[in-house]
Amino acid sequence: MTEAVSFTRHGEIALAVIDNPPVNALGHAVRVGLLAALEHTLADGQIRALVIRGAGKNFSAGADVREFGQPFKAPELGEIIERTEALSKPVIAALHGSALGGGLELALACHFRVALAGTRLGLPEVKLGIIPGGGGTQRLPRLIGARAALTMIAEGRDLDAAEGVSRGLIDLCVPSDLETAALEFARTVVRERRALRRTGDIVPVIDEPQVFEEFTQRVARRQRGFAAPLEAVQAVRMAYQLPFAQGLKRELEMCMALLNGPQSRAQRHAFAAEREIARIPGLPATTSQRPIETVAVVGAGVMGRGIAMSFANAGLPVLLLGRNGAAAEQAQAAIAKLYAAQVERKSLAASEVAKRAALISYGAALSELRGSDLVIEAVPEDLTTKEELFARLGRQCRSGAILASNTSFLDLNLLAQAAGRPTDVAGLHFFNPAYAMRLVEVVRTQTTSAEVTATLLQLVRRLGKLPVLVGATEGFVANRMLARRSREALFMLEEGALPEQVDRALTNFGFPLGPFAVADLGGLDVVLATRRARFARLTVRERAADLLEQLTARGRLGQKSGAGWYRYDEARRALPDPAVQELIVRHAATRGIVRRAISDAEILERCLYAMINEGARLLGERLVPRAHEIDVIWLNGFGFPAYRGGPMYYADEIGLKSVLEGLERYRATVGAEYFSPAPLIEKLAREGRGFYTP
Ligand code: COA
């Protein structure tokens, strides 16, 4: 019928197949094809029913996000969906892979739904900062009730096909041969003259009146700062308050208002950036890779354990080496405890634990690494220790084995040299807790081979994680930028702020926690160890700003000791501590710094501009190919609010001219050592451009 939608007849049943690679997004060509299929079905007297399915891996991933931000060309998706529901002949959706967003909305408007087992059904629009605009908020609750619909629409959670059956969303779930089953289902519908079930005709009955208030509070808490989830709750509520047609109209208006707003623009940027970074300039997708079958992690501390668990969680066997037998045993017990806690929290099925635990074997002798294809080192952050280890790995591991380090600050180029086979060495920088965090910085040195880089990127994807390729520099991208923010936070304490004020300014901006609360969580002894490791490279003022040393000397190690930058009550609530204030005030006096009132605006600017400036330097030094990498790292590693798009996107939103003015202002007050604008910012600002303006 058209290139994007094929149309064939199978006896009395017509079959329309959406074929718009890669994910059957419902772009203009598909909409034209679907409309033609509907019209043809109606016009042809011999056709008694229509089945719609998708070619390739998915039914459909929904509206084509590339069309967002431009005027929609007719026919619009809403029109197709409404005409599907209104058709006087039965329409059956045959779903497989993913049926998301507009794809599921189209299916909701079909009169029957058949799905292949394992199909993911979802309305994930909130993740793009919008709500469904094709009737999803009005039809889904009519089929599955308010609570289940709110979970899907306001929280963006998927259902799988089997659950879809039990909730009344799917009429039939088949293990295989979807097309045959759907055609057969259509024949039965025709033969039995089943009534057309139009979802819009269902009169919704509210059985839990309080559910909307419950979700309003829940999303306000769990998705703090995001506009779309609150609107989603409101839209689902409308399904119970407004006549169907009015509900549809209002839903679309709300969707469009969000679509044209800043949050959705930023969230769409985040979505696109995550995909963009998979395309790496100079590293074609065809780059050959090394087979990775046997993996070992050396170092059974917190990071090593988390990394080993990441492999087991992805179904891959891994050997975890401790310093000695006792350390390995300790690690095994700690991992068992972590899995048990996940079962307790219901985030892991009890039946999974044994399977995963069995994938991790333990050892203590480096000689066990001879057959490994990949060794990941996670021993303490000390250059000599790591250099010695890499020298041994270089000698002992088989040729072709990849040697990766999980260091977060040390110079990878030195480790590559120590190994004596620098092309095989790279960084795999996991974030803590490694078993839970998706982000992994894949670090290449000047000598890492393209084959090794490509292999590691793919391996991280196999772990279900998000690899971001960066260059070898102190702290790589994440920690190098974070160090700038931490430095300003510390300086502002000396100059007049308190930890709770700094944290509040950043949480108000949208970070889940402020820097001081994060430090307390990770342990001040851990932060101090990093500070000591970097001490030689700190500025004179940073060295003198020894508040961490003072706190830890008083036994204040953060949450684990009941006090750090905050004190903690029994419920582990952070409370501002007058003792910390006193310590800071005394410190400032000793250092001869006159404390003053610091505004929240200054806190935000100094923290963010210091990061952005460092990001620009990383770009200028070509340690990351594009600003996208930086935004993805901050969005996934440090909780930068997705609705602000990441630091570099945010800088563009403010305008680099304003950022430059800010940097110059702080250069005058804080010092050239800290706020000299990066040459790239000066250049882009002069040209009236941004990081993302070509
Ligand atoms: N519109 C346009 N393009 C889309 C798209 C959409 N709704 N969804 C995905 N794509 C594109 C991606 O940008 C990517 O393009 P690229 O290869 O040029 O980078 C490609 O399809 C593959 O997507 P990717 O996410 O890398 O593949 P996957 O197999 O891991 O996941 C999906 C597939 C469908 C599960 C996932 O892409 C997804 O969740 N998409 C968003 C769905 C959504 O939010 N729909 C609501 C729209 S309002």
- 229 C-beta closer than 6 A to ligand 1: no
Residue 27's φ and ψ, nearest 5 degrees, are: -75, 180
Rounded to whole angstroms, how far apart are CA atoms 21 and 52?
16
Predicted model pTM:
0.95
- Does position 493 have pLDDT exceeding 80, yes or no? yes
The length of the chain in residues reads 694
Q: Which residues are catalytic?
A: 63, 102, 105, 125
Q: What is the pLDDT of residues 587-640, one digit of tens each?
A: 999 999 999 999 999 999 999 999 999 999 999 999 999 999 999 999 999 999
In the block, tokens 């004596």 appear at: 420
Six-digit token string for 308: 């080993």
Q: What's the CA angle centered on 50, arms 46 and 54, to 5 degrees?
A: 140
Specify the pLDDT at position 1: 62
In the block, tokens 């793919």 appear at: 458
Q: Among the atoms of ligand 1, which is closest to the Cα of residue 130?
A: 48
Lowest-pLDDT range, 59-68, 447-456, 526-535?
A: 526-535
Q: What is the pLDDT of residues 330-355, one digit of tens each?
A: 999 999 999 999 999 999 999 999 99
- Does position 207 have pLDDT exceeding 90, yes or no? no
Residues 370-389: what's their mean pLDDT?
Answer: 94
Mutate to test the pocket of ligand 1, among 18, 20, 23, 81 (most ligand atoms within 8 A of CB): 23
- 101 C-beta closer than 6 A to ligand 1: yes
Question: What's the mean pLDDT when you consider all of the chain?
Answer: 96
Residue 268 alpha carbon to ligand 1 centre in Å:
11
Rounded to whole angstroms, how far apart are CA atoms 250 and 656?
37
- Does position 568 have pLDDT exceeding 80, yes or no? yes
Specify the pLDDT at position 2: 72
The protein residue with its alpha carbon nearest to ligand 1, atom 8, reads 61
The protein residue with its alpha carbon nearest to ligand 1, atom 30, reads 275
Residue type at 644 in one-letter notation: R
- Does position 563 have pLDDT exceeding 90, yes or no? yes
Q: What is the pLDDT of residues 445-464, one digit of tens each?
A: 999 999 999 999 999 999 99
Specify the pLDDT at position 694: 79
- 124 C-beta closer than 6 A to ligand 1: yes
Share of the chain above pLDDT 90, in %: 95
Q: What is the pLDDT of residues 170-204, one digit of tens each?
A: 999 999 999 999 999 999 999 999 999 999 999 99
Residue 228 alpha carbon to ligand 1 centre in Å:
20
- 277 C-beta closer than 6 A to ligand 1: no
Residue 321 alpha carbon to ligand 1 centre in Å:
39
What confidence tier does 71 reach under pLDDT thresholds 50, 70, 90? confident
- In Å, how far are 381, 393, 440, 676 from 386, measured between CA atoms? 7, 10, 20, 34
Q: What is the pLDDT of residues 16-60, one digit of tens each?
A: 999 999 999 999 999 999 999 999 999 999 999 999 999 999 999
Rounded to whole angstroms, how far apart are CA atoms 439 and 442?
10
